[in-house]
Amino acid sequence: MEMIGAGTSETRIIGIHGMGGIGKTTAAKMIYNKLSHDFDIVAFFKIFEKHQKVMAFNTYKLSSSLTSSKQNGYKDIHEGTQMIKDRLSNKRVLFLLDDVEQANHIDALVGKRDWLGKGSKIIITTRKKDILEVPEVDYSYELSAMDVDQSLQLFSKHAFRKDYPLDKYIGQSKRAIGIAGGLPLALEIIGSLLCHTKRKCGISH
């Protein structure tokens, strides 16, 4: 937060990388939502490789004149690039580029720093660390898997609505977190599934 804070006058590009399900998007959205009120224009871009389409979601101060009529979508990377060059130049913007898989997506949507107003911020999430190893990216951070204690606590909150399972469920819980491998999303899903089958495992409200 300190490196990308809205109070800094430099244009900065920050990357978050890590394996799928580790919580990259969740972490990036927390930063994005906290900072969004301090920028002229904000947009959350999701890239769909299968359809070669760039989508802008959850726009905050992005007026309808800056987006297409079809769910704020752009038919390809080049259209998104042209929109940024033509309409967002000299604006102080906050962009979140989620789940970037190719380096050319960063080039297309971020382009040259002089496209954007001073103090603009870009947040990028990706599974591929090497995508962030370019001069354009100022800082990159890796999200790692949760340790055993963190995993047990997160799993227990979803499975038992408690910070720690009852003694009779310790063995079952440890097997579950072993399967999840420290991935927050997997822990939440397995815990929620267990909670929904509480009658079978003898869990009561």
Residue 3 pLDDT:
59
At 104 the pLDDT is 72
Whole-angstrom CA distances from 60 to 3, 6, 171, 190 are 22, 15, 46, 34
Domain ranges of the chain: 12-142, 148-196
* Integer Cα distance of 202 and 19 in angstroms: 34
CA distance 21 to 58: 21
Tokens of 49: 């490789």
d(CA 109, CA 44): 11
Q: Which CATH superfamily is domain 12-142 in?
A: P-loop containing nucleotide triphosphate hydrolases (3.40.50.300)
Question: Does residue 65 sit in helix, strand or coil?
Answer: helix
Angle formed at CA 60 by CA 111 and CA 6, multiple of 5 degrees: 65
Identify the pLDDT of residue 16: 92
Mean pLDDT, each 10-residue run in order, the chain (205 residues): 63 89 86 87 74 50 43 56 67 87 72 75 91 84 89 90 89 90 86 69 45
Sequence-separated (6 or more) residues with CB below 8 Å from residue 111: 81, 84, 85
How many Å from the N-terminal Cα to the C-terminal Cα in the chain?
39
Give the Cα separation of 150 and 152 in Å (integer).
6
Sorted by sequence, the CB contacts under 8 Å of residue 197 that are 6+ apart come out as none
CA atoms within 13 A on the CB side of 194: 23
Beta strands 121-126 and 12-17, pairing class: parallel
In the 8-state DSSP scheme, what is residue 46?
A: E
Per-residue confidence (pLDDT) for residue 68, from 0 to 100: 42
Confidence (pLDDT) at 203: 47
pTM over 0.75: no
Rounded Cα–Cα distance for residues 91 and 117 (Å): 4
Q: What is the chain's alpha carbon radius of gyration, rounded to the nearest angstrom? A: 20
